[in-house]
Amino acid sequence: MATLALQGLRKSFGDVEVLHGIDLELADGEMLVIVGASGCGKSTLLRLVAGLERPTAGRVIVGGRDVTTADPSERDMAMVFQNYALYPHMSVFDNMAYGLRIRGLGRADIRQRVDEAAGLLGLGALLERRPRQLSGGQRQRVAMGRAIVRHPKLFLFDEPLSNLDAKLRLSMRAEIRRLQRRLGVTSLYVTHDQVEAMTLGDRLLVLHQGRPAQLATPMEVFARPADTYVAGFIGAPTMNFLPAVLASGGTAARLEAGPLLGFADGRRAGADGHPLTIGIRPEHLALGPGLDLLVDLVEPLGSETLVHGHLAGTEDQSLAVKLNGPAPGGERLGVRLQPEHLHVFDRGSGHRIEPIGADSATSQLAAASTAD
């Protein structure tokens, strides 16, 4: 097992800088999920760790050893790809054993390692089949087995579940997390799927345009997003954002839509009239007096209903409300914002504004990442 440290990691392709200085440390056995929109640099970061790309600047340290310029074969890492990358003419056993044969392991050791991995993954009865005889989930298990048999210091996962259907992704997520915890291998997992990110990682690194927007536990990212990008990316349906200004000596916000909202968690620094963005998740809205919502679309989801609309008197201030049970009829709804669930952001920078005296580490990280 091993730790991983990235120090000032940068990557440019020609004149285009894709990664703008990444610093992070992974503890032994930790699973870090790297999440972000397409083109944010997450797969490039993984390839730098694997040695498939060379950084423009910075260092990659594995278990205290600088491997920045080391060949991929010298890094003792195993990578699981999106497309499985199985040899179609080989059996499941031979696909899993191939890397061990290249390394010169004896037949007995190879058989033992493959049998152990096959037992962990439920592949024991499939070892003589070819990849074309397997389902998508079985092929992904073989790809994972090929990584496990190497007993690597690090697992690297590059969107391994993106080719699977929704039901299979759910079961494979649980399988990957169970195996990673059982084996205790330090792991980097890249995905654009926020559900995978929230359920798999010990911590999340949210990348935005090649910069770290936030590095924290999944629940901290959800509950205290560092800026409006993170707030809008994590959570489904996405967070609602409403323009407002600071009011009442920093103890409240006045929405452009009219109502004054008191802060339940404390006063914010700043002069009255300072432009804000108020964020609130659809599940933290309730029916009642407050905002007048003109209903545009109702989506029944079984036990829940998602109502989309826009605020009366506006054209661009949209709002989504997630209700338990069916929505009441009519083209208008009264919607109440729950003060204890408000998120306060600076409208200019997008950074989170914490109450005075609160820990502002997440805000400082967001500010530092955009000051590069």
Return the H-helix or E-strand segment holding 22.
strand 16-26
Looking at every residue in the chain, the average pLDDT score rounds to: 90
Pair 221, 241 in one domain: no
* Confidence bin at 370 (pLDDT 50/70/90): very low
Give the CATH number for residue 291: 2.40.50.140
* Radius of gyration of the CA atoms of the chain, in A: 24
User: Which of 200-209, 211-220, 320-329 is least confident?
Assistant: 320-329
Q: Considering the domain boundaries, does residue 185 fall inside one? A: yes
Give the CATH number for residue 213: 3.40.50.300
Pair 14, 155 in one domain: yes
Pair 195, 284 in one domain: no
Pair 124, 243 in one domain: no
Q: Considering the domain boundaries, does residue 335 fall inside one? A: yes
Pair 93, 209 in one domain: yes
CB 270 within 8 A of CB 240: no
DSSP string, 122-168: T-GGGTTS-GGGS-HHHHHHHHHHHHHTT--SEEEEESTTTTS-HHH
Q: Considering the domain boundaries, does residue 188 fall inside one? A: yes
Q: Considering the domain boundaries, does residue 372 fall inside one? A: no
- Among residues 228, 261, 296, the one where a domain terminates is 228
- Among residues 198, 228, 258, the one where a domain terminates is 228
C-alpha separations of 2 from 69, 97, 124, 152, 345 in Å: 18, 23, 29, 9, 38
Q: How far apart are the first and last CA of the chain?
A: 33
Pair 133, 176 in one domain: yes
Pair 41, 181 in one domain: yes
Q: Considering the domain boundaries, does residue 370 fall inside one? A: no
Distance from CA of residue 63 to its chain's centroid? 25
Q: Considering the domain boundaries, does residue 115 fall inside one? A: yes
State pLDDT tens for residues 129-153.
999 999 888 898 899 899 999 889 9
Q: Which of 150, 151, 181, 173 is nearest to 29 (CA)?
A: 181
Pair 173, 194 in one domain: yes
Pair 249, 223 in one domain: no
Total domains, the chain: 2
State pLDDT tens for residues 239-281.
999 999 999 999 999 999 888 999 999 999 999 999 999 999 9
- Report pLDDT for 166: 80
Pair 279, 252 in one domain: yes
- Among residues 178, 206, 228, the one where a domain terminates is 228
Q: Considering the domain boundaries, does residue 371 fall inside one? A: no
C-alpha separations of 362 from 6, 197, 252, 281 in Å: 20, 18, 22, 19
Q: Considering the domain boundaries, does residue 50 fall inside one? A: yes
C-alpha separations of 279 from 247, 304, 371 in Å: 16, 21, 23
Pair 208, 321 in one domain: no
**Residue-range definition of the domain harbouring residue 273:** 237-358
* Confidence bin at 171 (pLDDT 50/70/90): confident
pTM of the model as a whole: 0.86
Pair 264, 171 in one domain: no
Beta-ladder partners of 156:
79, 188
State pLDDT tens for residues 64-91.
999 999 999 899 999 988 887 889 999 9
DSSP 352: B
- 294 pLDDT more than 90: yes
